[in-house]
Amino acid sequence: MKLDELAEDFAQNVSAQTDAIWNGDAKAGNKHAKRYVAAYKKLCEHGDTGRNALAILLGHSRMDVRVKAAIYLLSERPEQALPVLEEAAKNKGMIPFEATQALKYWNEGTWSLDVD
């Protein structure tokens, strides 16, 4: 799979997870979470080139995709990820809450992404 396809797979599964959560379908949400984590891991296998592909999603039309990409890039690319999280955190709802929590842990110096 090409890097842009992996990034698109990440985006599609983040979107699908969000939609499943809104529909009260935790089982489907978990299935999509596993898929976007797998796409992320495959992107990371390509180092900076893979992270570049993921970083394109920081401009995605859906806030959930932008925020999730920012969360996954935060440790390696804070200069790109932080503005996305800060902008999302200005809003209300589940996705802005995720952004706020990531920023809180980042600012505390306790941020850690565990995708195992």
Domain boundaries, given as residue ranges, for the chain? 3-108
Local confidence band at 113 (pLDDT 50, 70, 90 cut-offs): confident
How far is Cα 27 from Cα 5, in angstroms, rounded to an integer? 24
Among 66, 80, 79, 72, which Cα is nearest to 112's? 72
Predicted pLDDT at 61: 97
Predicted pLDDT at 115: 77
Q: What is the rounded average pLDDT of the residues 7-15?
A: 98
CATH of the domain spanning 3-108: 1.25.40.70
| Cβ contact 43:51 at 8 Å | yes
Among 38, 33, 5, 40, which Cα is nearest to 18's? 33
Q: What is the rounded average pLDDT of the residues 38-59?
A: 97
The pTM for the full model equals: 0.95
How far is Cα 82 from Cα 34, in angstroms, rounded to an integer? 24
